[in-house]
Amino acid sequence: MSTLLEVSGVTVSFDGFRAINNLSFQIGEPELRAVIGPNGAGKTTFMDIITGKTKPDEGRVIWGEKSVSLLDMSESAIARAGVGRKFQKPTVFEDQTVRENLAMALKNPRGPFDVLWYKKTAQGAEKIEEIAEEIGLTDELKRRAGDLSHGQKQWLEIGMLLAQDPRLLLIDEPAAGMTPAEREHTTDLIKRAAETCAVVVIEHDMEFVRRLDCKVTVLHEGAVLAEGTLDHVTQNQDVIDVYLGR
């Protein structure tokens, strides 16, 4: 498995507060990784740095076989390079159908005229069917996205990211607000996605992390505190102290 993303020695401060402190992290392709840590550990800032939303004060963020620096790229260029991000609250086009949402997300040329001359293609239609099956929304393709349940909206948004053929998916707290059945489906969906691309899941819910059954990175005060299986990190005394506030 080759390294897809390498973050090394990254530090970022906001008004004198060090949100990320000499952080190093790497993930291969394909690979599934869970990132956990108490509130204020730097999990969101970590994602902001990878996606170009926040520029660090120092350090490197290296991407892909050609070892390009993501720090020199804009947010949109990073997205085009294959980094997809799903925020905690689903952002789907509520008034459009599930099919239309997926069609808009497909990896098509994105120039100003391409959108005007967008033609439905058999290939595009096939890809939409494929993704709908993957996310479990085949029966909902004609439904308005706004009428879906919370869990279904989350799956649709993951589907919209998959439609862009990402190489790295960043998913923020996917289990929040879901029913047990929805959470199970979400686990399966994420694990399948991680067979073809790199997936980083930020999650508070330990039961959900356990079901993902992957390597876990624990962040604390903007740095990596521990890394390994969930059993390994939860037996680490430093991790226990941080989580239990000893």
User: What is the full DSSP assignment across 142-184?
Assistant: TSBGGGS-HHHHHHHHHHHHHTT--SEEEEE-TTTT--HHHHH
**Using one digit for the tens of pLDDT, what is the confidence trace for 172-230?**
999 999 999 999 999 999 999 999 999 999 998 899 999 999 999 999 999 999 999 99
Contact 102, 132 (CB under 8 A): yes
Res 96 pLDDT > 80: yes
**Using one digit for the tens of pLDDT, what is the confidence trace for 52-70?**
999 999 999 999 999 999 9
CA atoms within 13 A on the CB side of 183: 16
- In percent, how much of the chain has pLDDT > 90? 85
Q: Which residue has the higher pLDDT, 133 or 1?
A: 133
CATH class of the domain defined by 2-244: alpha beta
Contact 199, 31 (CB under 8 A): yes
Q: What pLDDT does residue 119 have?
A: 64
Q: What pLDDT does residue 116 have?
A: 56
Contact 86, 169 (CB under 8 A): yes
Listed as own residue / partner, the contacts of 145-151 with beta carbons closer than 8 Å and 24 or more positions apart are 145/92, 145/93, 145/94, 145/95, 145/96, 145/97, 145/98, 145/101, 146/94, 146/95, 148/92, 148/98, 149/182, 150/90, 150/177, 150/178, 150/182, 151/177, 151/178, 151/179, 151/182, 151/183, 151/185, 151/186
Res 108 pLDDT > 90: no
Using pLDDT thresholds of 50, 70 and 90, give the confidence band for residue 129. very high
Q: What pLDDT does residue 235 have?
A: 94
- In percent, how much of the chain has pLDDT > 70? 94
**In the chain, count of helices (H) and strands (E)?**
10, 10
How much is the CA Rg of the chain, to the nearest whole Å?
19
Q: What pLDDT does residue 89 have?
A: 85
Q: What pLDDT does residue 90 have?
A: 84
Q: Average pLDDT for residues 39-51, to the nearest whole number?
A: 95
How do beta strands 58-63 and 2-14 pair?
antiparallel
Using pLDDT thresholds of 50, 70 and 90, give the confidence band for residue 118. low
Contact 199, 174 (CB under 8 A): no
Joined together, the tokens standing for residue 23 give 């952080």
Q: What pLDDT does residue 121 have?
A: 81
Q: What are phi and psi of 122, to 5 degrees?
A: -60, -35
Q: What pLDDT does residue 82 have?
A: 96
